[in-house]
Structure 1
Amino acid sequence: MSPALPSPESDGGPSAAAPSFSPLYRQIKALITRSLQGGEWKPGEPIPSETELAARYKVSQGTVRKAIDELATENLVVRRQGKGTFVSTHAEEKVQFRFLRLMPDEGEAGGMPRRFLDCRRLRAPADVARALDIRGGEPVVQVRRLLYFRERPIVLDDIWLVGAQFKGLTAERLSESRAPLYRLFESEFGVRMIRAEEKIRAVVANEQSAELLELPLGAPLLSVERLSFTYGDRPVEWRRGLYNTTTHFYRNDLS
């Protein structure tokens, strides 16, 4: 049986007394996204063809194409010439570099060696709970790591994850994996980061960050706060990074 098209109320819209209008292709996009979220098609796997999806949802192929166009623009799926449309994955370099914005002044960007300093499960402090939209005291996982460039520490990251989504994440598991964090989250925990919001400000190194980044006390740093979301616009990661930009710059492509 084909899934029913979602009503405005199902997306938290106005009541029946004042219905909101959703174009048909947006409704099809919501249904495809629901299947992605439910794991019907895994990261890296092909989704059905436009013809198959049109038959499934009883709409025109053009409507399906417009829905997939938006999903591709949002990097939820990727079109491959002559092969079809596939679920995006953090195993792909293009997706990885959407979330890697620190570039060296000289040379090409590449993988930065990392060292995990801590990984612990604890009750969410108030500011972390607010950011992740969970109740204070709910379980979270805190990860602290350093990223290196030419054997010098460049980034100090404090990462907070919704505990319910990352059961079994340990320092040993992190250290044993060679995959980028988001690829690990996707492949082993079924959590896919699909978008992020960031706040950037200039700060100075305090005693702890100066020691870990091997810098003088008061050295200038770039502070980057990132809130990452999975399907359904649910926040699952809050990251606070301190960047030494002496030999690097922060790049953002605007479109």
Structure 2
Amino acid sequence: MSSSLPNLNNSDAQSVGTSVAGAAPTFSPLYQQIKALITQRLESGEWKPGELIPSEVELGNRFKVSQGTVRKAIDELAAENLVVRRQGKGTFVATHHETHAQFRFLRLTADTDGPQRAENKIIEVKRVRAPAEVARQLDMKSGDSVIFIKRVKSFNGVPTILEEIWLPGLIFKGLTAERLMEYKGPLYGLFETEFGTRMIRAEEQIRAVGADPESAELLGVPPQTPLLSVDRASFTYGDKPVEMRRGLYLTLNHHYQSELN
């Protein structure tokens, strides 16, 4: 099988050939094998965020499969927000710098229509040893180095979210308070551009809490004001956890919106 794939490298041939005609079949549909190969290219950086990827015809020729097989693979990648189709232009690697993607992981929506001017106030940035729970969530050893960020996000001048963020120190080496304060784009866009780490998906746990004195002061509300506490674990390619985030959401003028399919 591999000899019939002249445009693939050895790993490509092995990935497709073993599953399709090898002695130990994986029973994975061909389009899913092609999806895995394309994902490997995205992870390796062959096609960078925001870049146009080869056409379905080109990919079909490269992997020696039909255009329909490639299309089905790309359909799934698009559904998972790894790529973006643009009518008449082609398929592009998704990026957190796109306007529609900046709030993909933030489901807090204003109760009224109109522009929402977002601002971030950095409270604290420091390198610390990972507490046991953080280490577990990030698949690290307890005591490994992590970057801790504490900030307040305001919308139209109203403090609305208090966040505590933990990041693996090795991956985000060089991330400083000064860099965060001078950066005006989305935080995940910074991670993507400067640290080569793209958030692919996230898991959240949500509960109702009352504001403790410190949180109340930072959000400008009375103690015990009802808040949504949102614990988020974010993952990059290969389902590798690369961020733990805890947010306290003030819902006086906003609501949490989630689409269920």
- Measured against the shorter chain, the TM-score band is over 0.9
Query: Per the alignment, in what secondary structure is the counterpart of residue 107 of structure 1?
Result: coil
Query: Per the alignment, in what secondary structure is the counterpart of residue 118 of structure 1?
Result: strand
Aligned-residue offset at 1:111: 3.8
* Match of residue 126 from structure 1: 132
Aligned-residue offset at 1:9: 9.8
* Match of residue 244 from structure 1: 250
**Are 2:202 and 1:207 equivalent residues in the alignment?**
no
Select which of 6, 13, 17 maps to 1:4: 13
Compared CA separation, residues 164 and 185, structure 1 to 2 (3 A): same
Aligned-residue offset at 1:18: 7.6
- Distance in 1, matches of 2:130 and 2:192, equals 23
**What is the aligned residue count?**
250
Select which of 191, 196, 201 maps to 1:190: 196
- Distance in 2, matches of 1:220 and 1:20, equals 50
Select which of 106, 112, 121 maps to 1:106: 112
User: TM-score w.r.t. structure 2 length?
Assistant: 0.90
Query: Per the alignment, in what secondary structure is the counterpart of residue 119 of structure 1?
Result: strand
The one-letter code of the counterpart of 1:241 is G
* Match of residue 4 from structure 2: none
The one-letter code of the counterpart of 2:170 is A
Query: Per the alignment, in what secondary structure is the counterpart of residue 113 of structure 1?
Result: strand
The one-letter code of the counterpart of 2:167 is L
Show the 5 A alignment for 1:39-188.
39-108=45-114, 110-188=116-194
- Distance in 2, matches of 1:66 and 1:17, equals 26
Structure 2 spans left out of the alignment, 5+ residues: 1-6
Aligned-residue offset at 1:95: 1.6
Contact 2:230 2:248 in 1 (8 A): yes
- Distance in 1, matches of 2:23 and 2:207, equals 45
Write the deviation string for residues 73-114 of structure 1: whole angstroms up to 9, x where unpaired.
111001111111100011112222322211222233534111
Compared CA separation, residues 103 and 48, structure 1 to 2 (3 A): same
Structure 1 spans left out of the alignment, 5+ residues: 11-15
Select which of 216, 225, 250 maps to 1:219: 225
- Distance in 1, matches of 2:88 and 2:162, equals 43
Contact 1:5 1:27 in 2 (8 A): no
Aligned-residue offset at 1:150: 3.4
Aligned-residue offset at 1:4: 2.3
Contact 2:172 2:195 in 1 (8 A): yes
Contact 1:114 1:145 in 2 (8 A): yes
* Match of residue 31 from structure 2: 25
Query: Per the alignment, in what secondary structure is the counterpart of residue 130 of structure 1?
Result: helix
Query: Per the alignment, in what secondary structure is the counterpart of residue 165 of structure 1?
Result: coil
Contact 1:123 1:140 in 2 (8 A): yes
Contact 2:116 2:156 in 1 (8 A): no
- Distance in 2, matches of 1:234 and 1:41, equals 20
